[in-house]
Each structure stands twice: as C-alpha cells, then as structure tokens.
Structure 1
Amino acid sequence: MTFRWIAGAFLAMAFLATGASAQNADYYRGGWRTDGGEPHVYQFVIKGSEVSGVYCTHCADGTTLAPIEGTFSEADGLTFKIRHLKLDGSPASTDKLQAKLVNGKLVVTGKRGGAGGLTFEHTAIKDPRGPTPGPYQQSILPPGAPPVPILPRTAGPAAPPPAPYVQPAPWRRLSADDVVGVWLGFGVGMEKQYFVIRKDGDHLFGLACGRCDNPYTFGALENFTISGDTLEFDIVHQDWGDGTVLPFNRHVKANITMNEMRMDARRPDQSGPGIVASLVGPISIEATAGNVVRD
C-alpha cells in the first residue's frame, strides 16, 4: 500500500466531509479536474472576491489553455468566464460558468460561447493523489486534507559540486514574441516541468505543470512584465506548495539567450537564491496540439 494510495483515500474522505457547510475560498482555490469523460481542468486563483486563473483540457496541449476571470462569494461559489483565444491572443469565444461545491465536489454549469451556445453541466474533483511527495514539507488545501508524506532522503556518497554556470550568449532584449511558447524545464518523463506561456491581447498568461495530468502539480502564471532583457512573472501556488504557508506566489526573474530561459524562482520568504534552473524552448504553441497524458 503506497503513500499515494493512502493519501488519496483520506483526501477523498476529507472532501466528502465538507458536505454543505460554509465553505470559504480555501475550499475552492487551486486545481480541479473532471473524473472521466471529456477532460476539463480548472486552476482558480482567488484574491478576496476576485477570481483569475486558467482552464485547459489536455493541459500539455498549449492550444487549449485559456484565461479565467470572475468573482467568488461563500454564498454563490464561483461565477466566471473562460475566454478562449486564438493563437495570436485575439478573442475566439467566451464561456459563462457557475461552480458550487456539493459534498466536496465542484458542480460546474454553464453555456458555451461561439456558434450553438450549448448549455452543459459536469462535476470536477480534487485529484485524490494529492501533490507529488518529496523529501521536504509541503502544504495542501482544502482544510482537512491529509498531510503530504515527506520521503526520506537517499543516502549515498557526496556528489561533487555542480559545474559553474556558463552563459551561452549575451542576454536577448525581450519582447512578448520571444517569451510565448512552451518551455521545458527540470525533471524527466511524466514529472517534467512544462511552462506554457500565451498571449492574451497585449498581455501574457500561462500555466506551469509537471506532472501535467494532476492539478495539484499546477500553478497559474500571472503578473508578467518585460523590461529590457529581463522577464518577471509569478508562479501562483493556491492549494499546494512547499513550506507551511498557503497561498503564496513564487516570483520569477528570468533572462533568455539562444533557446535557454535562465530563471531564479523565489518564495516571498527567501532571501538567497530560489529555484535556479534553465528552461529550454520555446516550442510553438501549435506544435503541442494533440499532446495527451494517458493512463
């Protein structure tokens, strides 16, 4: 019996225990997915009554990524729009939705935009696997969810220090076109990090995922700015993250040269270097069409 199976069983029990009692934003924020059938994935960022975030179907397929905007109240749950975009960032269609917790599950109803405008209803769940365990403390929402197991660090001979970083070329002066696309980061196989960045009119938005079939390993990318050769944005942790405080934003400063994005991503309580890594890309958004994570 694995840590993931045990955590998943208790996680499902915790969600059902919420019942119809008063549910604040901590019961709604973060990632949700449908449990079978046509995939729908929601990543909600809740700040007071304001809601943002991203929606996708097969989330490693960047063509399905769309921004969310709306409102939250404990009485009404989530009232929001999904603004589907063309690849150039211009509007394509808008879905109008309402979502409310019922026995720990999120019942989503709405009307599709575009021709036809069909109404629909489906149910979304918190992924019962929870976040991927690691050798460090993690926090998880909603309230009452079981703790994420802390895996033991493997013992072995001390590794030599890594080679010093060598910048391959001068940093490029950046525009949005240099940033848009899919950047591949650390990890291998299913656990590899995808940073999907798209245009929304004159702005940028995105999603970090890895693994890309479990919303507990997602983070919306928000608050993009570009100044000269420096890119900055936030990885928004709503319902999971390392440490003991949720929610929080991990702030990223990055530069780009050739096909490398060199980033330093820090929690607000970090004074030294954060997650320092190189992402490789960008792969065009349309080149990811058809990416599907299969069981």
Structure 2
Amino acid sequence: MSTTTTTTAPTRTAKPLPTPLKVGLSRTGLEVKQFFREKEQLIFTFFFPIIFLGIFSAVFSGTEFADGVDAATYFTPGMIASGIFLTSFQSLAITIAMERDEDLLKRLRGTPMSPQSYFIGKIGLVLATSVMQFALLLVIAGLALGVDLPTEPVKWLNFVWIFVLGTASGSVLGIAFSVVPKSGKAASAVVTPVVLLLQFMSGVYFVYGSLPAWMRTVAEFFPLKWLAQGMRSVFLPDSFEANEPGGSWQLGTGAIVLSLWLVAGLLIAQRVFRWTRRDAG
C-alpha cells in the first residue's frame, strides 16, 4: 500500500507598503542629488544672495544705520530671508512647472508615489539647500564682511523656528504657484517678477522703515516681510527694535502670519496640483 505525501507551499505575507513619509524622505535624497548635478541652478541658488550682500555692503560702505549698525550687518538678515524665499518659493515654482512641461510628473504619476510624498521630497530639498546656503552666507559675512554673529541662545532658537516656518510656507506656496505658468519656458518670466516685487516691498534691499506706509501695509500680507523682519530680530542688536515700524519685532504676529500661509499653501497645493500639463486634459 503506497502512501502519498502532500506538501503545502509556504504562504507569503505581503510586505506593507511604505508610508508617504518614508517615500518622501527617499525622494528627498534623489532631489538633492539631482540639484547638485545642475551646476547653473546650484550657482544661482547659493551665490545670488551672497553676491547681492557684497554689492550692497560695497555701495553703502561707510554708511551707518541706527545704533551703529553698518551696511553689511543690516543687509545680512534680509539676504538670508531672500535666500530662503529663492530656494523655496521661486525655485520650486519654476522647477515643478518645468518638470510638468517635460512630462516628468506624468511619469511619476504612474508610480505609487502620492502627491504628499512628492511634496515632502521637495520641501526636504529646500530645507537641505537652505541650510547649506545659510551656512555659506554666514561664513562669508563673518570672515569677509566683519558681520558679528549673535551669541545669545534665545536668538538662535528664534532663528530655528523662523527658518523652519519660512522655508515650509515658501515651499508649499511655490508648489501651489507652479500651476500658474502655462509652460515650463514661461515659468521664470512669471515667477521672477513676483519674487522681485516682494523683495523690494519687504525691506530686503531697502531699510524697511523708510518705505512708504502703503507699501509696508501691502507687504504685511505676504510671508517674506515677516521672514525678513524675524531675521532682523536675530542678527541685529536688540536696541534696533525701536527703529522698526511699531517699535517691535512683532515675532508673535510673524509666527501667526507664516503659519497661516503654511496651512493655506498646503491646502491650495493639494487642491490645484497637477501631474500633467493643462493641454493634456
């Protein structure tokens, strides 16, 4: 009598799909690698604020602002804020529009990656490049231009939350604004004037208190003004606070405005973000 032995194949347990956060962090690493391969974008992003800081320091050399603040010291926080806005809002609004135009986003749509993971990857890129840009700017400002860096821990703590809020809000707004240009070729022409206008209105290139009152009122609705003012509270002496309109750094108001822009930008970005060009349906 023969016996038949039956074997059952081992059951395979399906691996859980990676979370959007994990995919987003992986995407961040890829975005950073691609960024450093684009030499033109690398040079513009890293050295544009530094070049302007050098120019303004030279033009206003010998000019002393209130409380003995020299030109290099006064314009350093504005250039830091401007650099954050360039690497977040302007860079993302232009590059995403170009990626959409080149059908790169269309190909990504065919993968399991969610829009949230894509957003995390872009924001991670901005955070990484902004930190490197900030470090390089401070080294040059301190060594070449004689800018005294703050030593109080509370000022660096303020810098951290201002930096994070400014970077995050600028990033989501850049993602949302990337749908405005009709093509990748038109992106720079559409985005750059908006950034330049906000820079002039927000006290990046001028003493903010010397701007017309109506211009300051309009600037208060936008994040760059609060980002620049917050950076001035970190890098300028406490006595300079009296020279600000209202006689205060208004850090609480700045935190609220930047947070509102962050939430609004995230909601708008999720609603209007497109993987494909408009003419693709």
TM-score (norm 1): 0.24
TM-score (norm 2): 0.25
Structure showing greater Rg: 2
Identify the structure with the greater strand proportion.
Answer: 1
Identify the structure with the greater helix proportion.
Answer: 2
